Amino acid sequence: MAKKYLDSVLARNAELSSEAADSRLSKLTHKAVKIIQMNTMDISQTKQEKEIIQSFISDMSHQMKTPLSGVAMYTDLLLEGRITEAERQEFLSRVKTGTEKLQWMMDSLVKMSRLEVGAIELSPVSTGIKQTISDSISTVYGAAVKKNISIQTAYFEDISLLHDRKWRSEAITNILENAIKYSPSNGEINISVETLPIYTKIRITDYGIGIAPDEWNSIFKRFYRG
């Protein structure tokens, strides 16, 4: 009988027979089931940790496309030379901003490679949301100008919110990128901020093709495209 239970443990079979409930093997059965359950949980957790890391790497690779495209575009404009001195200074500043953003992402990837879980580490501090939104607009400025799209921000008093500026800016930038991508040329994007009793709402409105109602639940899937 003991051999039977030991074989079940080695086979990771958590459904051990209950026939020993009233026998001297009942304690052994209980401990064997506990061992199997703990082992199964460890395997499951390890799998989840690997999936988190893989997902993070995929996300970071996706995030790098925007600053890389920006650096390439402004570099081409600088090389063409048909720009004013003011534009040259502006484009150089944006190239610098893009490279700094890429450096930050690379640093994050290095840190992630040293971790097994919790790859994305948020460092929220109480700081004004206006600068965070401004940083996001600055990131997509070149793409908006290329399509002659105006980004309008409704006036609001700056609000100090507990958030991680870099990651919050990334989230807003992603929305703005899609708004620009799926809006017609010579269009407009509106941003407004509303303080509510429990949270602060940042509303980004574009006048592009929109999303079909039957796809609304799918847009929260990673990289889903209608």
pLDDT (tens digit, 0 to 9) for every residue of the chain, 226 residues total? 555 555 655 555 555 544 444 565 666 666 767 777 777 776 776 777 677 667 767 777 777 888 888 888 889 989 988 888 999 899 999 898 888 888 877 766 766 665 555 556 778 999 999 999 999 999 999 899 999 999 999 999 999 999 999 889 988 998 998 899 889 999 999 999 999 999 999 999 999 888 888 988 887 765 566 6
Same domain, residue pair 116 and 148: no
**What sign has the CA pseudo-torsion 55, 58, 62, 63?**
positive
**CATH of residue 76:** 1.10.287.130
Determine the structural domain holding residue 223 and report its residue range: 127-226
Q: Does 16 fall in a domain?
A: no
Q: Does 168 fall in a domain?
A: yes
Q: Does 178 fall in a domain?
A: yes
Same domain, residue pair 86 and 164: no
CA atoms of 128 and 193, how far apart (whole Å): 12
Kindly provide the residue ranges of all beta strands, DSSP E only, lying in the chain, ordered along the sequence: 125-128, 150-153, 160-163, 188-195, 200-206
The number of CA neighbours under 13 Å toward the Cβ of 59 is 17
Same domain, residue pair 117 and 145: no
